[in-house]
Amino acid sequence: MSVRPIKRISVLGATGSVGLSTLDLVRRNSHKFKVVSLTAYSKVEELSALAIEFNAELAVIGDEKKLDALKERLAGTGIEVAAGEAGLIEAAEREAEIVMAAIVGAAGLRPTMSAVRRGATVALANKECLVCAGDLLMEEVRVHGATLLPVDSEHNAIYQVFEVERASSVERVILTASGGPFRGRSYESLKAVTPAEAIAHPNWDMGAKISVDSATMMNKGLEVIEAYHLFPIKKSQIEVVVHPQSVVHSMVEYSDGSVLAQLGSPDMRTPIAYSLAWPERMEAPVKRLSFTEIGALTFEEVDLEAFRCLALAREAMEAGGAAPAILNAANEVAVAAFLSEKLRFIDIPSVVSDTLAICDIKAPQSLSNVFEIDKIARAAAQNQLALRAI
C-alpha cells in the first residue's frame, strides 16, 4: 500500500469562520497535513495560540500595530512572525501545496494572487477576489498552471457535478439561496432591522460580513459573478432559486434534461474537506442527512424588490468592466457602516447603486488598477454614507 505524502497547507484568514473550520479538519487529520503559514488581521491571541498548537512555520498579523504583541507571544517558539500586506503575501508565497484563501473582502486579493502565481492549489473561499478581479485572477490561474478549488458551498457543489469536458451540454447552472434571516419579509418591514438580527443566519454559521450579505442577498449576487468566472458558462445561464432548507447546495442542468445536484448538511466542513483532500475524499465530522427527517425540500422565487442587492449584482455583471469591483467596494463600505449602526439595512443597496452610478466602469488592466478602482469606489461610497447617516 502506498503511503500518501503529508500535504503542506497555509491558511490565510485562520481566525475566521472558514479558517477555524479548516483547522478543525487539519486537527482531526494531523497525520495528513503540515501547517506552514497562518494569518489573521487583528486577533493576536487567537493567531498565536493556533500557531503554537499547529506548530506553524510562520504567523502573520495583517495589522502592523500588532506585530510587537505577536512577537512577544511567540518568543522562544521558533515560529517566524511578520505583519502587514507584505507579510500576508509572504505567507501565501511560502512553499505549500494548498493555500486556503479565507481572508474576507478585497483585502484577500493580493495574497490569493501570490499563491496563484506560484502555481499552488488554492482553495478559494474569498469570493470578493473573483468579483473584483475575476478576469485577471482566472488568467493568472491559466498562465501559472494553478488549481483553483471553490470552497463556497454553491460553487463547490457545482464543481462536483459540472462535467467540464461536456460544458457545451450544460444548459443552466442553478444556484440555491437559503433566503437568509429575512426571507418572506417585505421591503417595508426591513426598515428597522438590527445588525444582530441580520447576522443571525437560520442555517449557516458564518463571519459577520457574509452573514449581512446573506441577509441582503448580495451574497447570492456575488456568487452569481463568482460562478460566471469559475465555470465555462454564459451569464444568462446562471439562475438563482430560494431553497430554505440549504440541503441542495446547487445544481447543473444538461441538454438531455438531467439535473445533477450536490446535497449535504449546511456545514462548511464538507466543501472544505473536499478541497483539502482533492482529488481524493476525506472524512468530515458533519451531520449526515436524514431524508425522512427533512421530509420536504422546497424552492421559491427570489423577491427582487425586497432584496435589491441581487439585481444590482446582476446589473454590475452585465455592465462588466470595473462595475463588479465598484459594487463590491461599495458593499463592503455599506456593510461595515450597517454593522457599526451608522446606516440602515435598507440603505445598503442605495449606497451600492448610487456609487455604481457615479464611478467610471472602464475595465481594470492590472491588479494595481483594480486597487485604484477599489479606492475610488470606497471614497465615493463613504460620501454616499454621509448623505444617509442615521
**Residues near ligand NDP, by CB under 6 A:** 13-19, 40-43, 62, 88, 102-104, 107, 125-128, 152, 204, 206-210, 268
Q: Which does 221 bind (CB under 5 to 8 A by kind): Mg ion, ligand NDP, none?
A: none
Rounded to whole angstroms, how far apart are CA atoms 7 and 76? Answer: 26
Rounded to whole angstroms, how far apart are CA atoms 166 and 350? Answer: 41
Q: Which of 131, 134, 125 is nearest to 104 (CA)?
A: 125
Q: Which does 17 bind (CB under 5 to 8 A by kind): ligand NDP, Mg ion, none?
A: ligand NDP
Cβ-based nearer residue to Mg ion, 83 or 132? 132
**Residue 112: what are its φ and ψ, rounded to 5°?**
-65, -45
Cβ-based nearer residue to ligand NDP, 127 or 183? 127
Rounded to whole angstroms, how far apart are CA atoms 33 and 275? Answer: 13
Cβ-based nearer residue to ligand NDP, 121 or 126? 126
The reply on whether position 226 binds Mg ion by CB under 5 A is: no
Q: Which does 346 bind (CB under 5 to 8 A by kind): ligand NDP, Mg ion, none?
A: none
Q: DSSP letter string over 140-190?
A: HHHHHT-EEEE-SHHHHHHHHH--GGGGGGEEEEEEEE---TTTT--TGGG
Cβ-based nearer residue to ligand NDP, 156 or 355? 156
CB of 57 to ligand NDP, least distance (A): 18
Task: Give me the residue label for grid cell 447603486.
Answer: 353
Cβ-based nearer residue to ligand NDP, 153 or 253? 153
Cβ-based nearer residue to ligand NDP, 162 or 354? 162
**Cα angle 260-262-264, degrees, rounded to a multiple of 5:** 155
Range in contact with Mg ion (rule: CB under 5 A) among 146-154, 174-182, 261-269, 280-288: 146-154
Burial 188-223 (b: 16+ CB within 10 A, else e): eebeebebeebbebebbebbbbbbbbbbbbbbbbbb
Q: Contact at 8 Å (CB) between 161 and 154?
A: no
Q: Give the burial class of 101: count Cβ atoms within 10 A of its Cβ; 0-12 exposed, 13-18 middle, 19 or more buried.
A: buried
Cβ-based nearer residue to Mg ion, 152 or 354? 152
The reply on whether position 152 binds Mg ion by CB under 5 A is: yes
CB of 268 to ligand NDP, least distance (A): 4
Task: Give me the residue label for grid cell 432559486.
Answer: 241
Q: Which does 125 bind (CB under 5 to 8 A by kind): ligand NDP, Mg ion, none?
A: ligand NDP
In the sheet where 238-242 sits, what is the strand order? 238-242, 170-177, 248-254, 259-263
Cβ-based nearer residue to Mg ion, 187 or 299? 299
CB of 190 to Mg ion, least distance (A): 21
Question: What is the size of the binding site for Mg ion (CB under 5 A)?
Answer: 3
Burial 298-333 (b: 16+ CB within 10 A, else e): eeeebbeebbbbbbbbbebbeeeebbbbbbbbbbbb
CB of 102 to ligand NDP, least distance (A): 5
CB of 243 to Mg ion, least distance (A): 12
Q: Contact at 8 Å (CB) between 198 and 214?
A: no
CB of 103 to ligand NDP, least distance (A): 4
CB of 292 to ligand NDP, least distance (A): 27
The reply on whether position 90 binds Mg ion by CB under 5 A is: no
Q: Which does 277 bind (CB under 5 to 8 A by kind): Mg ion, ligand NDP, none?
A: none
Binding site for Mg ion (CB under 5 A): 152-154
